[in-house]
Structure 1
Amino acid sequence: MTATPIQHAQLSRMEDARRQTQRQLELIDRQVMRRITSILPQLARRQTGYRRGKAPDTGSFLERYRNNLAALTAERQPEVDALTRKLTRQDAAIAAFRKRFGPIGDAAQLREEV
């Protein structure tokens, strides 16, 4: 069964919506990383090196970093979960569409051909 131009257009719209959802997830990830990067100077110890014979404790810095990263991630977790569920639904819809209408091919290729 050959795909009609309408089916190609519909598949193209579905794939574009999926890419947009993926971009939103990547944007959230970049925003979290930007925020954790901006607070890194606050997490670092003011005194580096030995103080009264005691070596600097790098473990405490890593613990503060992980705690702050977990807090920032937890803030955005409901949004990430919703987008992940949406992405899963979109993947299932695209797979069902391809299964129903057969291998349509890449919708982007069709746009270039037309």
Structure 2
Amino acid sequence: MTEPQDQCLLLARMKAAQAETQRRLGLIERQIASRAERLTITDRTKRRQRGRNASSWTSADERLFQQHVAELGLGSRGDIDALTRKLDRQETAIAEFRTHHCVSAAWR
């Protein structure tokens, strides 16, 4: 049987790996949103030549932004799906570890 300090270290490593996976997934999502925003602003500027101070974001701009997010997300679907599946496996492994070693979720 593993000692409590070994269990603590193993759980900490599992949680660190899970946090890294979440960070990578969040990074991809932020990159997609940033790119979609740039594409929307560029497209909006081409259509409306009001100058630099035109900063009103219309509902049409929001729809275009969401369309760009969907298209870019589709292009990154493989990476996003792989990271999401990995995150699910990590959550399951942590839950099983806690159950098997009688460790509560409050114990960090």
TM range (shorter): 0.7 to 0.9
Distance 1:59 1:27 in 2: 26
Residue equivalent to 2:82: 82
In the alignment, structure 1 residue 29 sits paired with structure 2 residue 48:
no
Q: Which has the larger radius of gyration?
A: 1
Q: How many pairs does the alignment contain?
A: 97
User: Residues 1-114 of structure 1: matches in 2 within 5 Å?
Assistant: 4-44=4-44, 45-46=47-48, 61-103=61-103, 105-106=107-108
> What is the TM-score normalised by the length of structure 1?
0.73
Letter in 2 for 1:90: Q
Residue equivalent to 1:109: none
Aligned-residue sequence identity (percent) comes to 36
With over 3 angstroms needed to count, the CA separation of the structure-2 counterparts of 1:62 and 1:5, relative to structure 1, is closer
Structure 2: state its 5+ residue gaps. Answer: 51-57
Following superposition, the deviation at residue 40 of structure 1 comes to 2.1
Distance 2:96 2:89 in 1: 10
> Contact conserved, 2:40 with 2:61, CA < 8 A, in 1?
no
Structure 1: state its 5+ residue gaps. Answer: 49-57, 107-114
Following superposition, the deviation at residue 34 of structure 1 comes to 1.0
Distance 1:6 1:100 in 2: 14
Distance 1:4 1:59 in 2: 55
Letter in 1 for 2:80: V
Q: Give the SS at the match of 2:90.
A: helix
Distance 2:98 2:59 in 1: 51
> What is the TM-score normalised by the length of structure 2?
0.76
Distance 1:60 1:100 in 2: 52
Distance 1:26 1:16 in 2: 15
Q: Give the SS at the match of 2:103.
A: coil
Q: How well do the aligned residues superpose, as a CA RMSD in angstroms?
A: 2.3
Following superposition, the deviation at residue 14 of structure 1 comes to 0.3
